[in-house]
């Protein structure tokens, strides 16, 4: 007899058919023996012929009979017996195949021997890839764009090019930013920047950050590139405007008086910087919306980029505070210059607020234990010394 009672004992309807029949026969025998003892004829059993043991036929509804198994073998799993038995042993999946089916795959099995047509297509894709990178190195962007478009439209065995792997997703934006530069003669164009932004925004919607994609390619990888493009677009547009202003100054006639020319140039420069600030502020607001909640609030790359945007806006406020305002006219005395004084003080206050914003973001990065780049660490030291 066991010392401890079993934790789980099956109920009567859960016991096997044979166990149930054995218990019934045992109860019948006990009742028969008890009745013979009560009558007081212990020796009469010799004169009475023993009743033959009842013969039980095969129960065709018994699960063990249906499965063709002995009582020592476990019954097949559901949906048996409501569905036919498919097999006692399921085929084992090789570990290579199970690892290859994960997302992202942890193992890529070697490619199977392919037919001649597929092999020829693969060689063609290898040649296109080589042409693409060679054209990028030679800055032949129209040819690189044509090679990239062919790669995107080619598929092998029904599978197209996966732009998420090997950093291919960034090639499309690099080519889009240079679209239309052949006619303008510039490295980038406004149309190209717009197409690159739309391209990254589609990637954010197509590959969101989920529990299944948190360790692979998702929107947290695309957002830093998207904001980098937006910042680069604003800075490039301002740089081109200042370059055009400088070229106009060089081509100006020497008849103009230099004492009256310089304030006009500074006013135009202030207008360019003011436009740059106006386009930079929506970028900062959008980044604050993204960084307001998980999983982006702990993204070190986005936090570092937000601190750089804060310092950029702070520098713009400082430049605008030093440049003359368009409405300033010193010939009307101090009353006419008072609005400019107020605007200057506002720019200085906003510049200090943005620098404090950068300090707060750097403190959050330090709390997260993020490793800063050497140039970023130098900027942090300069802010602490202010």
**How many whole angstroms separate alpha carbon 158 and alpha carbon 160?**
7
Per-residue pLDDT of the chain (386 residues; tens, 9 = 90+): 445 444 445 555 555 666 677 777 777 776 766 555 555 554 444 444 555 555 556 677 777 777 777 777 777 777 766 666 565 555 667 787 778 888 877 777 766 555 555 678 888 888 999 999 999 999 899 999 999 999 988 887 777 888 888 888 999 999 999 887 765 556 888 899 999 999 999 999 999 988 888 888 899 999 999 999 999 999 999 999 998 888 877 666 444 554 444 556 788 899 999 999 999 999 999 999 999 988 899 999 999 999 999 999 999 999 999 887 655 443 333 333 445 668 888 999 999 999 999 999 999 998 988 888 888 888 888 888 87
The token duo for 260 is 């009256």
Q: Kindly report the CA angle at 216 between 287 and 367, in degrees rounded to 5? A: 50
**Cα–chain-centroid distance for residue 381?**
32
> What is the model's pLDDT at position 213?
82
Return all residues near 379 (Cβ < 8 A) that are at least 6 apart: 311
User: Is the whole model's pTM more than 0.75, yes or no?
Assistant: no
> What is the model's pLDDT at position 339?
53
**How many whole angstroms separate alpha carbon 221 and alpha carbon 104?**
15
Selection from 316, 284, 317 nearest residue 302 by Cα: 284
CA atoms within 13 A on the CB side of 35: 7
Q: Are strands 159-160 and 155-156 parallel, antiparallel or unpaired?
A: antiparallel
> What is the model's pLDDT at position 13?
53
The token duo for 283 is 């970028």
> What is the model's pLDDT at position 255?
45
**How many whole angstroms separate alpha carbon 87 and alpha carbon 91?**
10
> What is the model's pLDDT at position 134?
93
> What is the model's pLDDT at position 183?
57
Whether a cis peptide bond, with omega within 30° of 0, leads into 10 is no
**How many whole angstroms separate alpha carbon 231 and alpha carbon 177?**
13
């Amino acid at each position: 007899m066991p010392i401890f009672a079993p934790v789980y004992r099956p109920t009567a309807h859960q016991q096997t058919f044979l166990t149930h029949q054995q218990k019934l026969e045992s109860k019948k025998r006990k009742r028969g023996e008890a009745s013979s003892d009560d009558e007081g004829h212990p020796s009469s059993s010799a004169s009475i012929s023993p009743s033959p043991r009842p013969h039980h036929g095969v129960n065709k509804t018994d699960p063990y009979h249906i499965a063709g198994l002995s009582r020592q073998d476990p019954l097949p799993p559901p949906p048996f017996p409501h569905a036919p038995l498919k097999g006692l042993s399921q085929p084992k999946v090789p570990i290579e195949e199970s690892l290859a089916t994960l997302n992202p795959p942890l193992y890529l099995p070697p490619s199977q021997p392919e037919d001649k047509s597929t092999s020829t297509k693969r060689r063609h894709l290898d040649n296109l890839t080589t042409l693409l990178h060679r054209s990028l190195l030679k800055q032949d962007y129209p040819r690189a764009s044509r090679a990239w478009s062919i790669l995107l439209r080619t598929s092998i065995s029904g599978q197209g090019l996966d732009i998420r792997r090997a950093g291919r997703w960034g090639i499309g934006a690099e080519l889009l930013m240079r679209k239309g530069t052949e006619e303008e003669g510039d490295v980038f164009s406004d149309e190209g920047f717009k197409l690159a932004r739309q391209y990254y925004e589609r990637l954010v919607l197509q590959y969101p950050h989920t529990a299944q994609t948190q360790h692979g390619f998702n929107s947290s990888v695309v957002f830093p590139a998207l904001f980098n493009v937006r910042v680069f677009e604003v800075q490039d547009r301002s740089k081109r405007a200042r370059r055009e202003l400088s070229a106009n100054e060089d081509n100006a006639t020497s008849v103009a008086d230099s004492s009256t020319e310089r304030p006009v140039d500074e006013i135009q420069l202030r207008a360019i910087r003011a436009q740059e600030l106006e386009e930079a502020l929506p970028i900062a607001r959008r980044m604050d919306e993204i960084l307001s909640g998980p999983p982006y609030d702990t993204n070190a790359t986005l936090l570092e980029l937000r601190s750089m945007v804060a310092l950029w806006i702070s520098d713009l406020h400082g430049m605008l505070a030093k440049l003359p305002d368009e409405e300033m006219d010193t010939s009307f005395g101090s009353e006419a210059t008072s609005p400019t004084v107020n605007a200057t003080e506002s720019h200085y206050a906003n510049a200090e607020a943005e620098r404090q914003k950068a300090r707060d973001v750097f403190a959050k990065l330090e709390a997260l234990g993020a490793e800063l780049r050497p140039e970023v660490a130098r900027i942090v030291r300069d802010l602490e010394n202010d």
